């Protein structure tokens, strides 16, 4: 790809993402609702369970579970890119974008970029409270964490938009996403260790890609507390990204 073509793709991604962010800014209620949801998770899991469970591997439960709670928020946001794609298709806006002189892949990817920006912003706010829950972070750890959550959002955003291209009806897509979200989010090591449950549960968690995302972030934010080797987490996530991007490229055409 030539330099001009790369610049064109970058511009197109920026334009699609800017539109989504602009729309988001016009509906601040959605952001507030997401903030309340995070607060709820914090109260229930981090603070409520803290007194009951005490510590995990020598860490306060709240500190151990905090990266998982942020991951739940970020992955939810990522998968929701698929819904914004489906709504644009439902209400006709996607048609207009499909006849624009940009590679088609830019349209779903632009949406993923927009949610990654939102996810990065939300992670930045949430991680700023990490020290209060017994998880002190260095500046590098903090910035690395924000970036890592944005990357995780991209991976699951790709899954969301791919799902949207595979399921033509918005209502069906919403049902599929709703059905998939709970096992995806909660059987991922986000709120308990992947090896803490019975064998069958562990096996299920090992086929959940979010398990590796949560584990990689835990490696980053709480060194030494990952359940799997970091290289395994990264290989699984990189492989998943490559497969999702390839299938998405094939689905949306040129």
Partner 1 sequence: MNAAFDVRDIVVRYGRRTAVDGVSLSAAPGTIVALLGPNGAGKSTLLRAVSTAVPPDEGRIEVFGHDVARDPVAARARIGVVFQERTLDPDLSVWRNLWFHARLFGLSRPRARARIDEVLERFGLADRREDTVAQLSGGLARRLEIARALVHRPGLVVLDEPTTGLDPDARRDVWADLRRLRDEHRVSVLYATHYLGEAELADHIAIIHNGVVVRRGSPAELKSGLAASALRLSTEDDASAARQLSSAGFDARVSVEGVSVRCARPESHVAEVVRAVSVAVREVAVVAPSLDDVYFATTEGSST
Q: Which residues bind partner 1 (CB under 8 A)?
A: 8, 11-12, 15-16, 18-19, 22-23, 26, 91-93, 95-103, 253-254
Closer CB to partner 1, 73 or 84, in the complex: 84
DSSP single-letter state for residue 56: E
Nearest-CA neighbor of 159 among 246, 71, 72, 82?
82
Closer CB to partner 1, 106 or 130, in the complex: 106
Total count of residues recorded for the chain = 254
- Residue 139 Cβ, how far from partner 1 at the closest point, in Å? 34
- Residue 91 Cβ, how far from partner 1 at the closest point, in Å? 8
- What span, in angstroms and rounded, lies between the C-alpha atoms of 210 and 179? 15
List the Cα angle 50/52/57 in 5-degree steps: 65
Closer CB to partner 1, 40 or 250, in the complex: 250
- Residue 25 Cβ, how far from partner 1 at the closest point, in Å? 11
- Residue 90 Cβ, how far from partner 1 at the closest point, in Å? 11
Closer CB to partner 1, 124 or 170, in the complex: 170
Sign of CA dihedral 144, 150, 156, 162: negative
- Residue 76 Cβ, how far from partner 1 at the closest point, in Å? 22
DSSP single-letter state for residue 22: H
Closer CB to partner 1, 88 or 233, in the complex: 88
DSSP single-letter state for residue 60: E
> 180: which residues sit within 8 A by CB, 6+ positions away?
79
Place of tokens 């490696």: 219
């Amino acid at each position: 790809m030539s330099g001009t073509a790369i610049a064109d793709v970058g511009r197109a991604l920026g334009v699609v993402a800017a539109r989504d962010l602009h729309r988001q800014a016009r509906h601040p209620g959605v952001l507030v609702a997401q903030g309340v949801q995070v607060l709820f998770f914090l109260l229930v899991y981090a603070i409520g369970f803290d007194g009951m469970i005490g510590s995990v591997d020598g860490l306060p439960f709240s500190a151990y579970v905090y990266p998982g709670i942020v991951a739940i928020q970020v992955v939810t946001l990522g998968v929701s890119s698929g819904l914004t794609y489906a709504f644009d298709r439902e209400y006709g806006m996607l048609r207009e974008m499909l006849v624009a002189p940009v590679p088609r892949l830019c349209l779903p990817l632009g949406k993923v970029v927009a949610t990654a920006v939102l996810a990065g912003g939300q992670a930045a706010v949430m991680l700023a409270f990490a020290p209060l829950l017994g998880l002190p972070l260095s500046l590098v750890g903090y910035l690395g964490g924000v970036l890592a959550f944005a990357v995780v959002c991209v991976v699951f955003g790709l899954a969301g938009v791919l799902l949207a291209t595979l399921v033509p009806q918005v209502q069906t897509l919403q049902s599929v996403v709703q059905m998939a979200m709970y096992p995806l989010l909660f059987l991922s090591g986000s709120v308990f260790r992947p090896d803490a449950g019975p064998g069958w549960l562990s096996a299920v968690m090992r086929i959940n890609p979010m398990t590796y995302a949560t584990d990689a972030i835990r490696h980053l934010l709480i060194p030494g507390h990952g359940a799997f080797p970091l290289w395994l987490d990264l290989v699984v996530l990189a492989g998943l990204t490559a497969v999702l991007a390839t299938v998405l490229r094939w689905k949306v055409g040129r």
